[in-house]
């Protein structure tokens, strides 16, 4: 095993905390690779502007275990830009990544400044660096699926996410205790920590159990770079989520995507600054009747936004999405909530009792679009039912 050592620096070390790149993810069917490439490229500019020593990526580099070739190209291009800008990278795997695939050739990649921590048996094997104040140990905890992780950790009593993360941090603290006095520590982890606020775009990391863990699990580290939740947030001064660099749901429309610039000094955590990221394409919500949305001058500023549109027409408009995209080419989500409408509770047995097939078909159409079929449509329905042997 090659030593994971970053060349020493004469200045206090500076980290850039990122996570949840999710390269390859789409947004309601829209390809985001260009947006992801632009924002991740900005990280390299930030490395140069802020003299960043190490970029941390706390899991979910990719959106799926087997990413598409173009997604891999975007991610590797981002990493190469960061290295050329002068920073090393420390990356852990998240619940969306394949740990084995992401960590492939990790021992060789470390020689080029890319330090991958995707293996459970390397949790207490830190990436080491030194600055003007002495040594710094960076521990990477990959996403730990509780059941397989407790066996891999040889900790049969470790129950759930709290149990396996507690065992992981026990190993981190034990290693840190054996290092030179004054060694500072940074931990990367991919988890749902109590007090964090989720969005609609995170994938649940628990099946029937409790996915949230206490922040106290991570006691002992000078800074904990969390991943998994997509909104930037501070749970404690040294316990933070950077959030995703790009919005992946309309629940994130009001968020200002950002990363954290983290400084350590001789005593540990010296300060954390937030840097907001560029927004390649804004998200917005729009509500109203279709004709009003298509003609209203007040909506002209939303033409270049990803849009979630709620139509309030009393009758569901025909071909609404096509018509919307003629004015709003980036409309990606459409809902229909008629004005003064109330959601009906459908009880199937009551809905069909004593009614003919034709009456049921008429009622279904009325429920779907807010208006009963006209005579022409009713004739088409009757002919279809007769062809299926269901005529009145």
What is this structure's pTM?
0.86
- The architecture of the domain spanning 14-276 is 4-Layer Sandwich (3.60)
How far is it, in rounded angstroms, from Cα 376 to Cα 392? 17
Sign of CA dihedral 199, 78, 262, 109: positive
Q: What are the CA-CA distances from residue 261 to residues 21, 169, 242, 328, 346 (Å)?
A: 17, 24, 10, 37, 53
pLDDT of residue 379: 77
Mean per-residue pLDDT, 28-47:
97
Burial class (CB in 10 A: 0-12, 13-18, 19+), 181: exposed
Q: Taking the chain, what is the end-to-end CA distance rounded to the nearest angstrom?
A: 78
Alpha-carbon Rg for the chain, nearest whole angstrom, is: 26
**189, two tokens:** 């982890």
Domain positions in the chain are 14-276, 283-387
DSSP 3-state of 83: helix
Which residues make Cβ contacts (< 8 Å) with residue 132, sequence separation at least 6?
A: 9, 10, 11, 12
**389, two tokens:** 């042997």
Q: What percent of the chain has pLDDT over 70?
A: 90
pLDDT tens digits, one per residue of 9-32: 667 899 999 999 999 999 999 999
Q: What are the CA-CA distances from residue 391 to residues 207, 377, 380, 384 (Å)?
A: 47, 15, 12, 8
Burial class (CB in 10 A: 0-12, 13-18, 19+), 103: buried
pLDDT tens digits, one per residue of 187-243: 999 999 999 999 999 988 875 556 899 999 999 999 999 999 999 999 999 999 999
């Amino acid at each position: 095993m090659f030593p994971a050592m970053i060349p020493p620096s004469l200045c206090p070390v500076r980290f850039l905390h990122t996570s949840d790149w999710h390269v390859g993810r789409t947004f309601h069917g829209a390809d985001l690779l260009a947006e992801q490439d632009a924002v991740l490229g900005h990280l390299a500019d930030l490395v140069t502007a802020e003299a960043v020593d190490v970029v941390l990526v706390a899991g979910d580099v990719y959106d799926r275990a087997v990413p598409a070739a173009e997604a891999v190209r975007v991610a590797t291009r981002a990493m190469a830009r960061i290295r050329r800008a002068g920073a090393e990278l420390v990356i852990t795997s998240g619940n969306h990544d394949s740990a084995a695939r992401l960590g492939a050739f990790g021992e060789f990649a470390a020689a080029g400044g890319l330090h991958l921590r995707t293996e459970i048996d390397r949790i207490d094997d830190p990436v080491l660096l030194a600055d003007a104040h002495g040594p710094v140990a960076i521990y990477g905890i990959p996403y730990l699926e509780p059941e397989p992780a407790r066996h891999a950790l040889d900790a049969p009593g470790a129950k759930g996410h709290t149990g396996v993360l507690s065992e992981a941090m026990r190993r981190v603290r034990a290693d840190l205790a054996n290092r030179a006095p004054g060694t500072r520590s940074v931990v990367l982890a991919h988890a749902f920590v109590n007090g964090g606020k989720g969005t609609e775009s995170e994938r649940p990391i628990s099946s029937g159990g409790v996915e949230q863990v206490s922040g106290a699990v991570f006691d002992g580290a000078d800074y904990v770079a969390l991943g998994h939740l997509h909104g930037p947030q501070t749970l404690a001064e040294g316990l933070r989520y950077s959030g995703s660099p790009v919005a992946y749901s309309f629940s994130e429309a009001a968020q200002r995507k950002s990363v954290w610039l983290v400084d350590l000094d001789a005593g540990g955590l010296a300060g954390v600054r937030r840097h907001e990221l560029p927004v390649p394409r804004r998200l917005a919500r729009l509500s109203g009747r279709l004709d009003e949305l298509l003609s209203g001058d007040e909506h002209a500023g939303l033409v270049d936004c990803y849009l979630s549109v709620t139509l309030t027409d009393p009758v569901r408009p025909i071909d609404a999405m096509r018509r919307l995209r003629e004015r709003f080419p980036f409309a990606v989500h459409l809902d229909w909530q008629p004005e003064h409408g109330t959601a009906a509770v459908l009880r199937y047995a009551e809905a069909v009792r004593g009614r003919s097939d034709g009456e049921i078909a008429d009622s279904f159409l009325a429920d779907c679009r807010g208006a009963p079929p006209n005579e022409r449509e009713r004739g088409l329905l009757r002919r279809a039912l007769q062809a299926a042997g269901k005529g009145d």
